Amino acid sequence: MVTHRIALIPGDGIGQEVTPAACRVLDAVGRRHGIAFVYDEFDWSCARYTELGAMMPADGLDRIRHHDAVLLGAVGDPSVPDHVSLWGLLIPIRRTFRQYVNLRPVKVFEGVDSPVRGAAAMDLVVVRENVEGEYSEVGGRFGRGFPEEMAVQESVFTRTGVSRIAEYAFTLAAGRRKHVTSATKSNGIVHTMPFWDEVVAETASSHPDVRWRAEHIDALCAKVVLDPARFDVIVGSNLFGDILSDLTAAVAGSIGIAPSANINPERDFPSMFEPVHGSAPDIAGRGVANPLGAIWTAALMLDHLGHAEAAAEVERAIADVLAKTPVRTPDLGGTATTDAFTAEVLEQLSLGALLTYAAPGATG
Ligand code: NAI
Ligand code: MG
C-alpha cells in the first residue's frame, strides 16, 4: 500500500462541488490499486480573503511544500478582483514550486457534441509556459489620474525558460503523434517572439524524429477551429497557451471537461492539478457543475504520481459514461447533477474492473 499526501484546496464556487467528486473517484480507484490518499484540506479562497484579508496564510507555501501533490478546485468571486485571487494564490504556488509546465490535454469524447464540425478526431495537448513570459511583474502605472496616464507591462522570456518548455513539448510529442506546433507572433512582437522561435528551433534540432512548425497565434486560433484534428502538441507562451487552452476546451464541447496540470518536472516541489474552468459563480451552489474536468485532472495527478494504469482506468470510466450512458450535466445538454454524474463514473469504474477481472490481459 502506498500513501500519498494531497494538499486539497477546493477554493470558491463550484471548486467546492467538483473537488469532492474527484476525491471520491481517486479513493475508489486507489482501493483497487493499493493506493491510499490522505487529504489535508485548506480553506484558501476568496471567501478567506474577504474574511481575513489574504487568500492564504503568510506561511501557506511552507504548509504544502512537502505534500506529494496539490489538488485545487477553482478560486474566484465576483466581489474580489480576479488579479487578487490569481496573484494571491495560484501564481505564488506555480512560481515558488517551479511548476513551469502547464499541461492541458484536450479530446472530444464519443457521445459529446463539439460545436465545431470535424472536431471528433481532435486529440491534442497544449503545453503552456507557466512561470514567465507575458505574465510578469515587470512594469507599472505612471501619471495616475492624469490624461497622460500610462501603463507598461514587460514580457520576460529567458533562454532557460523557453528551452525547457520546448524540450518538454518535443519529448511529449515523441511519445505521441510526433508533431509540435509552436505558437508565435514574431511578425508583430519583434523582440521576444523571434527569440522564442530561435530557441524552439534549437530545441527542435535535437529531436529530428519530431516534425514541427511555427504558426502565428491569430492564424493558429482559426486553424484550431477549422481543423482541430491536425494538431498533436501545441507549445505556447504563458498568454498564448492560456488563450489556446480555453479555445481548445470549448472546441471539445465544454470548458467543464478540461483538465490541467501545473508540473515541476524535476519533482523538487509538489505539482498542482486543477481543472481549467473557474469558480462559475453563475451556477455555483446548485449542484449541477460538471465534475468531469476535476475527475480527469485527478487522472493526470495519478499519472504524475506514477500510477499510469489507475489513471488510464479513470479516463476510460469517463469515456464510458459519455459513450454508453445518457448521463450528462446541463453544460453538456443533460439534466444530471454533479453527484449523479460522479456516481455514474464510479459505476463505470467498477464495471471496467469487473471486465478486466473476467478477461485478464484483455484490456491494455
Ligand atoms: P468559469 O470557467 O468559471 O465559467 C465560464 C462559464 O463556463 C460559465 O458560464 C460557467 O457556468 C461555465 N462552467 C465552467 N465550469 C463549468 C463546469 N465544471 N460545469 C458546468 N459549467 C461550467 O470562468 P469565468 O466565469 O470567466 O470566471 C469565474 C471566476 O473564476 C472568476 O473569478 C475567475 O477569475 C475565476 N477563474 C479561476 C480559475 C482558477 O481558479 N484556475 C480559472 C478561470 C477563472
Ligand atoms: Mg485561462
The three state secondary structure string of 237-253 is: CHHHHHHHHHHHHHHCC
- Nearest residue to 21 via CA among 313, 330, 299, 262: 299
Ligand 1 atom at minimal distance to the Cα of residue 277: 2
Q: Compute, in angstroms, the gap from residue 199 CA to the centroid of ligand 1.
A: 34
Spatial CB neighbours of 72, under 8 Å, sequence gap ≥ 6? 9, 10, 11, 15, 19, 90, 272, 273, 274
The neighbouring-strand residues paired with 288 are: none
Catalytic pick among 62, 113, 218, 324: 218
The neighbouring-strand residues paired with 235 are: 127, 182
How many residues belong to the chain? 364
Element (DSSP H or E) covering residue 74: strand 69-74
- The CATH number of 1-100+256-364 is 3.40.718.10
What is the location of CATH 3.40.718.10 in the chain? 1-100+256-364, 114-252
pLDDT, mean over the chain: 94
DSSP letter string over 130-176? -SSBTS-S-EEEESTTSTT-EEEE--B--HHHHHHHHHHHHHHHHTT
Spatial CB neighbours of 325, under 8 Å, sequence gap ≥ 6? 344, 348
Q: Which of 72, 94, 135, 279 to mutate to test the pocket of ligand 1 (most atoms within 8 A of CB)?
A: 279
The pLDDT of residue 254 is 84
Ligand 1 atom at minimal distance to the Cα of residue 73: 40
The pLDDT of residue 362 is 47
In this structure, whether the domain defined by 114-252 belongs to CATH 3.40.718.10 is answered with yes
Pairwise CA distance, residues 189 & 201, whole Å: 18
Q: Which residues of the chain have pLDDT under 70?
A: 356-364
Pairwise CA distance, residues 79 & 64, whole Å: 27
The pLDDT of residue 211 is 98
Ligand 1 atom at minimal distance to the Cα of residue 289: 19
- Here the cell at position 122 is 481532435
The pLDDT of residue 356 is 65
Angle, CA 122 vertex, CA 120 and CA 128 arms, to 5°: 150
Q: Can 218 be counted among the known catalytic residues?
A: yes
Is residue 313 classed as helix, strand or coil in its secondary structure?
Answer: helix
- Nearest residue to 127 via CA among 213, 276, 254, 238: 238
